[in-house]
Structure 1
Amino acid sequence: MNQDLIISAYKPRVAFERRFLEQAGRPEGAWDFVRQHLAQLPVVVENAGVIETIAERQPYLLFDRMVAFHIQRGATVPLSAAEFYAGLRQRFAERDGMFFLADQVPQYDAARLRVGQIAQLTLFVSDEKSTIQWLRQQLDPATGGQPQTYQDLQPQFLRQLHQARHEALPEPGEILEQNFLQDDAGRWYVPDPNKASDLEKIRQKALLREFARYAEARGRL
């Protein structure tokens, strides 16, 4: 009986993976992933009488998850960031900056009506991952940001810095170099995974980092 339960629990995931392989590189495959991902996330998180913002339901993280899912499976990312954000609003319900499946909305709306207060997500910069997320928020027009120079970003970054004393946090300039691209005006921006020139620049960055690690390892021999 337990074995049957385990097998049945895996069936939706297996079916989803099969569908994705059939649709890989096509927009519908990306939207199928988003539906699957949203279905796995909690609908409401309450803490001390306040509804918490679920970061994973916000558009920029949904886009990141979709891109990562495709890359991990060697599939072409079928949607640009702008197309993805526009498609989210066409296909899913938005509440308080978060996205839900249609059948999840009544539960969230009922909790929202009952509690009435929602805690705004404060993204503290405390490590490399949160720094990347914060920079993406600042640079992505779809999330209210815009391309900016390092000089524009640095004072904002210092105000957000919430670094643990024991943790060595890379300089924002280093993180920008590794994860974002720079235009002719010196402004940093979020790479478009559907733009060939952006993908080539990212590939070159990855190759240079790999070569630097190789050279460093050789130097220690």
Structure 2
Amino acid sequence: MTADLTHIDTWLFDLDNTLYPEESGFMGSVEGRMTDFVAKVSGLPRDQAYVLQKKYLAEHGLTLKGLMLNHGVDPADFHALFHDLSLEVLAQDPDLLAALAHLPGRRFIFTNADDKHAERVMAHLGLAGLFDDVFHIHSFGFAPKPDPLGFQRMIDAHGIDPGTTAFFEDSERNLKPAADLGMTTVLVGPRAAASTAPYVHHRTAKLAPFLTGARLKEAA
């Protein structure tokens, strides 16, 4: 069904696995390097390090946060792991670029990644000129999604009205605080259709056709 988004004038997007498809496999490369790093820091065998990595992710919304709290990891050292990753598996999507450009109002990236990662990925995908700002892990003071504090800092920084904001994410649990604040939530990706969470308002496997088909506010 066509989504009625005629009340939306602020568009909030996660970056990884949302503005490019999960099927690209790019995040698999990120996770692999992350596991190697957790193993090095913790001294655990790689399989146990992977378990710890996912434990920190579940507890803190971000593996890095667990590493900072429990191992004294410097965020700069952690983020540097990903700054030379090949982006060749990521391809520009002309349909998505056109759909984003057509959205009325302001557009923001809201990502748990750091600024340099976001800049690299956005530039590669042709997204850099389409967004008003990137709110990254440094911007919200390491209160990663789904921490409500990170959302509140995003709202305060940009004067966002949750009631006229749509938030697009591939992580179901990250949509709950957005819905609690009054945002319209959209779950994106291959598992979206199976979601039954009451705080997920719309579901789509692919972002571009969803945006293209949605009913939007008319330009002033």
TM-score of the pair, normalised by structure 1: 0.27
Larger radius of gyration: 1
TM-score of the pair, normalised by structure 2: 0.27
Structure with greater strand share of residues? 2
Structure with greater helix share of residues? 1
Which structure is higher in RCO with an 8 Å CA cutoff and minimum separation 6?
2
